[in-house]
Structure 1
Amino acid sequence: MSCMKVELGIQPDIAHKPKEAFEFAANNGFSHIELLMDHPYYSLENLSYAEVLELKGSYDLEVLLHAPATSTNFISTSSLMRKASYAELERTMSFAERCEAKLVTVHIGWNPGFITARGFVFQEEIYSRHNYEVLTREFYAFAKYYGEMLAIENTIRFDESLSRALEFLLENTDVALTFDIGHYYAKGDHDVFLRHFDRVRNIHLHDNNGEIDSHLPLGHGNVDLSIIPNSYEGYATIEVRDEEAILESKRYFEEWTKKCKKDERNERA
């Protein structure tokens, strides 16, 4: 047994403007900050790479980026929407390079279900071939170019075709992974990420009851941190976006880590 070695960071409280976010992270002993670029304060329209570089240097924090997810969809059935999504991600990657960000996490997108007279219906089979083809053709080219700077997150349920597509990308590019432990417990079917944990560079930490992706503080739900391999070394990012919940999650994670180290010492004795 060997306890994981992580660099613990945060996504900002949603009320924090950039300087407040960096100050809060630095004052509370975090190693990095992951900027959620869907938030207006951190969007490409409102935040300059020069400002991020200045804050990064002033507060001695590493920077990660979470690419826009509400405005992108790489498995859309619309080729026009996919092209726009890649254009947005290209802007994000350029921003990342200019502000010396260490990693960019990306969502692959989603397929729609439909409300019917018999309830909500999601027809997985009609998207299966489409998803595999656009990811192994279009996303492959992007992942091949950016490699480990880009990390795919487990978000939607990964059916057999999505899992095969991810396996293809991992085998044929250096693309990385971001493992969201809350999504794993709330949405399921993310075992492909566990099988390739050696490619995980960032872990999103939050809790839930196993049914709803509620982003609770750690310790307030059923998420079991022990699913993370003891050999993991990399970033871990608290993703609760609320000051009090961030600090509570930090305390919980540190206590859990201490217990892990204590168990390791006892095992060696």
Structure 2
Amino acid sequence: MRLASPIGYQASYDTESILEAIRFGKQNGFQAVELHLLSPNFQPEQINSAERCAIRDENFILLFHVPTNFSFFIDDKIRLATIERLKEYIDFAEELTAYAITVHLGRSMPLATQGKILRTWELWYEQEYERLYSSIKDIGMYMQDKRLFFCIENTSEMRYPLSYEVLESLLPELPLYLTWDIGHSNTLDHDEKQREEAFFLRFLHKVKNVHLHDNWGKIDEHNIIGEGNINWGYYLELLDSKERVLILETRPRELAVLSMKRLLNVWHHNNKLTK
């Protein structure tokens, strides 16, 4: 039995163009590619109209990942400029008929004091809550006429109490979705992992993108599948659906090819990894 979910890889520093990323995907049996916009090669300003037509003509599932230096917790002028740039990325992805675009919420700013780190959300909760709420609501309203799925990923800032509050308020009422990074969840301690997984299970219908990479439960290593302690059989059973895409986030891209082979082995051998 085949996986219902399309499987893709993430292209970043190892790829010169979007067309090259697509062709590598096709040549290696992938059905999708997620383009990381940290790469200057994928910026909207670098892609002319002829290239955009050629990309659409490839008829390949595209996803985008917003640069990870974005933040919704910073000074309002910078934050609002960030949102405008984000909307340009959304329009670019929509023009290329992409499936989804993923964003990190961005970290609340740190302040060191007496040997520990405080975050600005801990010091000015209401201000930070309002910044995040208004940012996400603005984007949610902007997405109302889009085919593209706007997905928020589970990085550390999504675990702030105010982030959970904002998402639980806005996810049910706006076209906002989720990217579940399984490797990130695996690095959490028992209680925090249970909390995060409970959140994703509650909003499982909102999960449109899944990031797959392995680790040993301590740090975010982005290892190939099988080089860690994640129970891939469990997550494949849980998440396999034609309504979401599985993205192998192992780099360089040749390691994503190996990861896909191992992932499919899990699926085809009764959810047990055979290397």
Give TM class, smaller chain.
0.7 to 0.9
Contact 1:131 1:162 in 2 (8 A): no
Write the mapping of 1:102-113 to structure 2, written as runs, cut at 5 A.
102-113=99-110
Instruction: Classify 1:79/1:241 alpha carbon distance in 2 versus 1 (closer, same or farther; 3 Å).
Output: same
Structure 2 length-normalised TM: 0.84
| Contact 1:49 1:99 (C-alpha < 8 Å) held by counterparts | no
Structure 1 segment 117-128 matched on structure 2, within 5 A: 118-122=115-119, 125-128=122-125
Quote the Cα distance in structure 2 between the aligned partners of 1:103 and 1:80. Answer: 27
1:28 alignment partner in structure 2: 28
Aligned in 2, Cα 1:3/1:24: closer, same or farther, shift over 3 Å? closer
Displacement of 1:202: 0.7
- Cα distance in 2, alignment partners of residues 103 and 166 from structure 1: 18
Bigger shift: residues 123-132 or 34-43: 123-132
Q: Percent identity among equivalent residues?
A: 28
Match for residue 199 of structure 1 among 188, 200, 206: 206
The verdict on how the C-alpha distance between 1:127 and 1:240 changes in structure 2, with shifts beyond 3 A counting, is: farther
Amino acid at match of 1:230: L
Q: Unpaired runs of 5+ in structure 2?
A: none
Residue of structure 1 in register with 2:62 after alignment: 63
Amino acid of the residue matched to residue 254 of structure 1? L
State the Cα distance separating 1:201 from its structure 2 match. Answer: 0.5
Equivalent residues of 1:3, 1:261 under 8 A apart: no
**Residue equivalent to 2:258:** 248
* SS, match of residue 201 in structure 1: strand
**What is the CA–CA distance in structure 2 between the aligned matches of 1:52 and 1:42, rounded to whole Å?**
11
Alpha-carbon shift at residue 115 of structure 1 (Å) = 4.1
* Code of the aligned partner of 1:174: P
Unpaired segments ≥5 residues, structure 1:
263-269
Please list, as runs of the form range in 1=range in 2, the aligned pairs for 1:42-121 lying within 5 A after superposition: 42-48=42-48, 50-58=50-58, 60-70=59-69, 72-76=70-74, 78-116=75-113, 118-121=115-118
What is the one-letter code of the residue matched to 1:134? R
State TM-score, norm by structure 1.
Answer: 0.85
Residues 69 and 156 of structure 1, relative CA distance in 2, 3 Å threshold: same
1:182 correspondence with 2:179: no
Read off the aligned partner of 2:229 and give its amino acid letter: N
Q: What is the CA distance between 1:141 and its match in structure 2? A: 2.3
Structure 1 residues 201 and 49, CA gap change in structure 2 (3 angstroms): farther
- Cα distance change on mapping 1:50 and 1:37 into 2, 3 Å: farther
The one-letter code matched in structure 2 to 1:222 is N
Taking only aligned residues, the RMSD between alpha carbons, in angstroms, comes to 2.5
2:249 maps to what in 1?
A: 239
Amino acid at match of 2:109: P
Q: Deviation string for 1:148-198 (max 9, x for gaps)?
A: 621111111413221111101112212111111111112445232232111
1:204-227 Cα deviation digits (max 9, x unpaired): 111122221121111111222214
- The 3-state SS of whatever aligns with 1:193 is helix
Superposed displacement of residue 146, structure 1: 0.4
CA contact (8 A) 1:103 1:151 kept: yes
**What SS class does the counterpart of residue 215 from structure 2 fall into?**
coil
- 1:211 is aligned with what amino acid? K
Describe the SS at the equivalent of 1:6.
Answer: coil
Is the CA contact 2:236–2:267 (under 8 Å) kept in the aligned structure 1?
Answer: no
Q: Contact conserved, 1:218 with 1:253, CA < 8 A, in 2?
A: yes
The question of whether the paired residues in 2 share the 8 Å contact of 1:53 and 1:100 is answered with no
Q: Secondary structure at the match of 2:68?
A: coil
Structure 2 counterpart SS, 1:254: helix
Query: How has the CA–CA distance of structure 1 residues 229 and 133 changed in structure 2, closer, same or farther, with 3 Å as cutoff?
Result: farther
SS where residue 5 of structure 1 aligns? coil
Distance between the aligned counterparts of 1:238 and 1:114, measured in 2?
Answer: 34
Q: Which moved more, 1:146-155 or 1:85-94?
A: 146-155
Q: Alignment partner for residue 130 of structure 1, among 116, 127, 132?
A: 127
**Alpha carbons of 1:131 and 1:257: their partners in 2 closer, same or farther (altered >3 Å)?**
farther
Q: Is 1:14 equivalent to 2:16 in the alignment?
A: no
Which residue pairs with 1:220 in the alignment? 227
